[in-house]
Amino acid sequence: MQEAIIKRAKELLADGSVNRVIGWKKGEFVYDITPAVFETAEEIDADFVYNELTSANVSKYLVKETKKDGKVLVFLKPCDTYSFNQLTKEHRINRENVYVIGIPGGPKLDVEKIKAKGITGILNITNDNGTLKIETLYGEETMPFADAVSTKCENCKSKKHVVFDELIGEDGDITDTNRFEMVEKLENMTSQERFDFWRDQLSKCIRCNACRNICPACTCEKCVFDNPDLGTDNKAAADSFEENMFHIIRAFHVAGRCTDCGECSRVCPQNIPLHLLNRKFIKDINSLYGEYQAGEDTTSRAPLTDYTFDDCEASIVHERGAE
Amino acid sequence: MLKISKDRITEIFNTVAESKSLYLPVNREDGQAEFKKYENGMVLSENLNTLRSAKDFFFPQTENLVDFKMEGKNIEVIDVREECEDFVIFGVRACDARSFTILDKVFLADPVDSYYKNRRDHGTIVTMACTRPSETCFCGSFGIDATEPEGDAVCYTDGSSYFFKANTEKGEAFINSVSSLLEDGDTAELEKVQAKTKEILAKLPLSNLSTDSFGGEKLNELFKSEKWAELSEACLGCGTCTFVCPTCQCYDIKDFNTGNGIKRFRCWDSCMYSDFTKMAHGNPRLSQVERFRQRFMHKLVYFPANNNGEFGCVGCGRCLSRCPVSMNIVKVMKALEEK
Ligand code: SF4
Ligand code: SF4
Ligand code: SF4
Ligand code: SF4
Ligand code: SF4
């Protein structure tokens, strides 16, 4: 796959269709891959990678990149195309300045899951038919590929690209992988148990902002939490509830716009399952305003910014909240 | 050397915890280690290092500095400082132990930060020699020997026992407080383990990372490098690297209005943020390129310039494994080195 992607990237650069390529750049180790903009075939040959460890969603970089001169080429996995559409819908991406090639997605690996098994000193990782062979400073280790799959790929919502100018590989279908299972478990808890669950998780937060800054739905020029002029800035968890406020407000701000891309949970250094907050909102929106998948298209009206006679009454939402 | 067999280490913990607060790395349910206040039954983590650094003990993420109470036209200033109680941190790695020396240079230089000094004076640091360095470790580049950590007292392991050595008076006091549990032990096996660890350290993928191209005298050349734009391109400005870093030391001081007074607190800040060192005209570093440059220039150029050549990084590797886009000090150093 990597070869086909590199070949096409170089062709489009050579014939002048695009003047930059957004992709993934290899790092010091096998797994520390950085999203990058490539300008020449030489750069691509030297550093471009696409494999089981390139899990970053690069669509948010287009907010910045499509403001520049010339067309940029981007490779999007199925899940990334939803983010792309959502950003286009919100007028954050200049669609004319980007050429989209859809590429097959995951399942991707999360190296942290390998390290959590006590496998450290990692020098190389290869996939041998579903078994990971991990070369380390302390000898070779093996583990099932399935046990190291990134959380965001465990509940893949779609193998279908919802937008592309061309495709490399086959397109897939929308998948049904029980992504609300854990949300239901949380719903079935008593409110005290649920409160304790979230307090426990969110109290780990160090307010590093990785979740917000990676999020394709968080593209405000100035986030309320960064604005000293507004008096709402909060740089750190100054009291024991403050980080909870941050997450509650962020979840509300992305409600109806979050595509469930899973990047927030992937990058959280404290492994907080942020995707569960967002999925709760998605599930509620589905049941209160009808099935809706953010990023599926660029034209439909979003449930929370639209009014229809079928909308549930505000009182119903209010009663549900009372419990 | 004085030692205790591995299965009896909790006796040490229990004895120490009788008279002082004891903190040690403990595994969470997700397999990550974090420093926790010891309670009976807790198990010392086998992980190489904690996810968050140990700087929190002396430089917490947030702390209250002073309170003001308003009544009519009077403002009462309330000093909230209290003498800190003695505490022990057990299991600090060599990299993190060096980070305290670096933080001392900032907080204990004139004018002394009394909040920091209070905690520093009352804390005893018991370090733990590393036996399983990871691929992200490069403490050696900063002259740190992972097998011979600094600290008030040092603990070494040969796999079946823990050995103790004191470096300071505080360390001696620590060992004395548990000496009834210790016995004299043979260090032959320990020496073998130490030698083996040294071999691993020498063949770590980053063991050749050199600091030769950095330091105060390289200021102009590095500041003006054209590489910064490309290096910072993917950076999200999230600040994760600065928050997990044991040597990042910047903070902000803010007033919180309580309705009838003010709580003045400080909290960690990050040079990666848009409102960092904001003045009347705004942030002097207009784009992420300058903010990103600041973090690495501080560690590799400005800090050594002001501290006799000592770098502001200890090679712990946290920013290598935590940056959401995998951009970090090693990549920066390697890129700047290539001319
Ligand atoms: S990424 Fe994790 S630790 Fe950082 S602000 Fe978000 S939830 Fe908190
Ligand atoms: S909130 Fe999380 S899952 Fe939703 S769009 Fe943002 S990063 Fe993706
Ligand atoms: S270097 Fe990485 S961790 Fe640091 S601010 Fe940039 S994206 Fe965040
Ligand atoms: S810059 Fe990175 S490697 Fe250096 S001390 Fe900070 S977190 Fe550790
Ligand atoms: S950087 Fe060095 S001292 Fe720190 S954990 Fe790794 S080997 Fe040990």
pLDDT tens by residue, B8-33: 999 999 999 999 999 999 999 888 99
Contacts from B222-226 at CB under 8 Å and sequence distance 24+? Answer: B222/B297, B222/B300, B222/B301, B222/B336, B223/B293, B223/B297, B223/B301, B225/B336
Q: Give the atom of ligand 5 at the shortest distance from the alpha carbon of B130.
A: 8
Give yes or no for A27 touching B (CB within 8 A). yes
3-state secondary structure of B197: helix
Section A50-61 average pLDDT: 95
**HEC per residue, B270-335:** CCCCCCCCCECCECCCCCHHHHHHHHHHHHHHHHHHHCCCCCCCCCCCHHHHHCCCCCCHHHHHHH
Residue count (chain B): 339
CA nearest to B320 within chain A: A32
In this predicted structure, what is the pLDDT of residue A263? 95
Q: Per the CB < 8 Å rule, is A238 touching B30? A: no
Q: Per the CB < 8 Å rule, is A34 touching B269? A: no
A233 or B57, greater pLDDT: B57
Q: Per the CB < 8 Å rule, is B46 touching A37? A: no
The distance of A138 to chain B (nearest Cα, Å) reads 8
A311 or B20, greater pLDDT: B20
Q: Which of A117, A152, A307, A209 is nearest to B273 (CA)?
A: A209
3-state secondary structure of B120: helix
A238: pLDDT strictly greater than 80? no
A98: pLDDT strictly greater than 80? yes
Q: Which of A52, A187, A235 is nearest to A127 (CA)?
A: A52
Rounded to whole angstroms, the Cα distance separating B244 from A204 reads: 13
Mutate to test the interface with B, among A32, A49, A125 (most CBs of B within 10 A): A32
Q: What percent of chain B has pLDDT over 70?
A: 100
* pLDDT per position as a tens digit, A10-33: 999 999 999 999 999 999 999 999
Let me know: does B31 contact A116? Beta carbons within 8 Å. yes
Confidence of residue B319 (pLDDT cuts 50, 70, 90): very high
**HEC per residue, A171-236:** CCCECCCCCCHHHHHHHCCCHHHHHHHHHHHHCCCCCCCHHHHHCCCCCCCCCHHHCCCCCCCCCC
Q: Tell whether ligand 4 has an atom less than 6 A from the beta carbon of residue B329.
A: yes
In this predicted structure, what is the pLDDT of residue B73? 86
Q: What percent of chain A has pLDDT over 70?
A: 98
Q: Collect all residues with Cβ–Cβ distance below 8 Å to A231 and sequence separation of at least 6.
A: none
Section A273-284 average pLDDT: 94
Hey, what's the torsion of the CAs at A110, B61, B303, B130, to 10 degrees? -50
In this predicted structure, what is the pLDDT of residue A322? 57
The verdict on pTM exceeding 0.95 is: no
Q: Where are the beta strands (DSSP E) in B150-248?
A: 153-157, 161-166, 183-184
Section A122-143 average pLDDT: 95
DSSP B233-262: TT-----HHHHH-SS---EEEEEEE-SSEE
User: Going by CA atoms, what residue is nearest to atom 6 of ligand 1?
Assistant: A211
B54: pLDDT strictly greater than 70? yes
Q: Give the atom of ligand 4 at the shortest distance from the alpha carbon of B316.
A: 8
Q: Within a 10 A sphere around the Cβ of A39, how many other Cβ atoms?
A: 12
Find the CB nearest A210 among B51, B238, B256.
Answer: B238
Q: Using a CB-CB distance cutoff of 8 angstroms, which residues of chain B are in contact with residue A121? A: 132-135, 200
A233: pLDDT strictly greater than 80? no
ipTM value, please give it. 0.91
Q: What percent of chain B has pLDDT over 90?
A: 84
Confidence of residue B274 (pLDDT cuts 50, 70, 90): confident
Expressed in angstroms and rounded, the spacing between residue B60 Cα and the centre of ligand 1 is 17
Strands B251-257 and B261-268: antiparallel
CA A151 vs CA A231, B5, B271: distances in Å: 36, 40, 31
A296: pLDDT strictly greater than 80? yes
The tokens for A188 are 């079935």
Q: Using a CB-CB distance cutoff of 8 angstroms, which residues of chain A are in contact with residue B275? A: 226-228, 233
Q: Tell whether ligand 4 has an atom less than 6 A from the beta carbon of residue B246.
A: yes
In this predicted structure, what is the pLDDT of residue B275? 81
Section A192-215 average pLDDT: 92
Backbone angles phi, psi at A72, to 5 degrees: -115, 140
In this predicted structure, what is the pLDDT of residue A226? 85
Residue B44 one-letter amino acid: L
Confidence of residue A237 (pLDDT cuts 50, 70, 90): low
A177: pLDDT strictly greater than 80? no
Q: Using a CB-CB distance cutoff of 8 angstroms, which residues of chain A are in contact with residue B206? A: 28
Confidence of residue A45 (pLDDT cuts 50, 70, 90): very high
B310: pLDDT strictly greater than 90? yes
Q: Tell whether ligand 4 has an atom less than 6 A from the beta carbon of residue B312.
A: no
Residues 228-247, chain A, touching B (beta carbon < 8 A): 228, 233, 235-238
Q: Per the CB < 8 Å rule, is B320 touching A118? A: no
Q: Collect all residues with Cβ–Cβ distance below 8 Å to A207 and sequence separation of at least 6.
A: A234, A235, A236, A237, A242, A243, A246, B61, B243
Q: Within a 10 A sphere around the Cβ of B278, how many other Cβ atoms?
A: 14
In this predicted structure, what is the pLDDT of residue A174? 84
B327: pLDDT strictly greater than 80? yes
The distance of B137 to chain A (nearest Cα, Å) reads 9
CA A179 to chain centroid: 15
B116: pLDDT strictly greater than 90? yes
Backbone angles phi, psi at B281, to 5 degrees: -90, -5
The tokens for A133 are 């062979």
Q: What percent of chain A has pLDDT over 90?
A: 70
Q: Per the CB < 8 Å rule, is A121 touching B134? A: yes
Q: Which ligand is nearest to the CA of A242?
A: 1
Before A107, cis peptide (omega within 30)? yes
Q: Give the atom of ligand 4 at the shortest distance from the alpha carbon of B245.
A: 7
Q: Per the CB < 8 Å rule, is B267 touching A238? A: yes
Strands A98-102 and A72-76: parallel
Section A185-195 average pLDDT: 93
Q: Per the CB < 8 Å rule, is B51 touching A269? A: yes
Q: Tell whether ligand 3 has an atom less than 6 A from the beta carbon of residue B274.
A: no
A229 or B264, greater pLDDT: B264
Confidence of residue A318 (pLDDT cuts 50, 70, 90): confident
Section B67-78 average pLDDT: 90
Classify residue A34 by burial, with Cβ atoms within 10 Å: 0-12, 13-18, 19+. buried
CA B23 to chain centroid: 15
Q: Which ligand is nearest to the CA of B330?
A: 4
Q: What average pLDDT does chain B have?
A: 93
Q: Tell whether ligand 4 has an atom less than 6 A from the beta carbon of residue B247.
A: yes
Q: Which of A151, A40, A73, A230 is nearest to B230 (CA)?
A: A40
The HSE-up count of residue B36 (CA atoms within 13 Å, CB side) is: 17
